Amino acid sequence: MPSIKQDRVAENIRMILSELLLREVSDPRLHNITVTDVTIDPELMFARVYINALGDESRHDEVMAALKKAKGFLRREVAKRVHLRSVPDLGFFWDETLERAERLNSLFSSLHIPPEDKKPG
């Protein structure tokens, strides 16, 4: 279970990265992406950053390539804004939660479940 400090640092990094991607990154491949979650290890050395392109799974490869290219810039900017002795290394991961939820909803809606027979009594 993450500590309060891990949660606080992870949320701070999530907000900083969201702001950077919204306002300061000029790469068009990174427009309209969302930082859905950040988790950080107990030593605060590595942050797993989960992103999604607002349900557009077809952009996965281009977004991940752009994040790989922008990683140094993003880490430097996080370092300027977060107050830690050392800034965690950022690892970017595609968040498949939305895609899974859509698949499940599709499966549930395609199920044909006959109504239950009501017996008097």
Confidence of residue 116 (pLDDT cuts 50, 70, 90): confident
> Bigger pLDDT: 70 or 100?
70
Confidence of residue 83 (pLDDT cuts 50, 70, 90): confident
Closest CA to 84 of 29, 46, 58, 38: 46
Task: Kindly report the number of other CB atoms within 10 A of residue 77's CB atom.
Answer: 18
Q: In what order do the strands lie in the sheet with 46-52?
A: 34-40, 46-52, 89-94
